[in-house]
């Protein structure tokens, strides 16, 4: 049991702990204190649901259905391109820096933050590849009892990671009171979003 918990934790960590669109989004919301509880809960619940589906062996439908993956990739490319453009705009205008300086930190509507979190989490076919195909494929050889332990390890890492970067980001607030640091972060977010959008667009183009 313990070995499978650790195995699930290590595999989950290797997939989650990387600079990507979702992690950068969570980091920024955490620094801005922008409904961060809802952001991290949504990220965790999505991970929990997808990993559960994958580990229980019923999640290959999404990942192997070409039409669904094309639609998700197209929507994801559009959303990430828009978000990337917004990040570059914030870098040029200093919008994020002005937000934290004015202390008007929760200036976005909750519904907007929730929709953005769902979009950056679910509109990327790679999330299904990681959580459903890879995690589910590794767990497919386990017994039901081992799968449960594997799932516990995987979701525990997800919980610790998202709540850690979400609330831990507040420790970086003094650093981000410097305008140039916000410019760098927004620029990095913009580059990451555009790169992932390009990958998704190429996936759609290449699948025909």
Both structure tokens of 86: 């917004």
Both structure tokens of 46: 């999505």
**Domain segments of the chain as ranges:** 2-11+20-206
pLDDT at 38: 95
The C-alpha torsion from 165 through 133 and 114 to 90, rounded to 10°, is 60
SS3 state of residue 52: helix
pLDDT at 162: 94
pLDDT at 161: 93
List the pLDDT tens digit at each of the 208 positions of the chain. 778 888 888 888 877 876 678 888 898 888 888 899 999 999 999 999 998 888 876 655 655 677 877 887 888 788 889 888 988 888 888 766 556 555 554 556 888 899 999 998 898 777 887 787 777 777 776 788 888 899 999 999 999 999 999 999 888 877 777 778 888 888 888 888 888 888 888 888 887 7
- Percent helix / strand / coil, the chain, rounded to 5: 85, 0, 15
- Between CA 1 and CA 111 the distance in angstroms is 40
pLDDT at 134: 74
pLDDT at 141: 67
Place of tokens 């980091």: 27
pLDDT at 106: 54
Sign of CA dihedral 20, 26, 29, 34: positive
């Amino acid at each position: 049991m313990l070995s499978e918990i650790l195995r699930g934790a290590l595999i989950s960590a290797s997939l989650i702990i990387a600079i990507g669109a979702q992690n950068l989004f969570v980091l920024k919301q955490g620094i801005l204190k922008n409904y961060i509880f809802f952001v991290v809960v949504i990220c965790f619940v999505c991970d929990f649901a997808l990993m559960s589906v994958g580990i229980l062996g019923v999640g290959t439908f999404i990942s192997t259905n070409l039409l669904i993956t094309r639609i998700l990739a197209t929507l994801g490319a559009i959303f990430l391109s828009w978000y990337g453009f917004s990040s570059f705009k914030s870098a040029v205008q200093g919008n994020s820096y002005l937000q934290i300086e004015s202390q008007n930190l929760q200036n976005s509507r909750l519904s907007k933050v929730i929709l953005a979190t769902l979009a950056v989490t679910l509109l990327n076919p790679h999330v299904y590849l990681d959580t459903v195909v890879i995690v589910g494929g590794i767990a497919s050889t386990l017994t039901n009892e081992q799968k449960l332990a594997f799932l516990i390890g995987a979701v525990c890492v997800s919980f610790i990671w998202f709540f850690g970067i979400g609330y831990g980001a507040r420790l970086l607030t003094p650093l981000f009171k410097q305008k140039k640091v916000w410019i760098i972060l927004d620029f990095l977010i913009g580059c990451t979003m555009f790169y992932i959008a390009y990958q998704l667009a190429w996936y759609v183009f290449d699948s025909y």
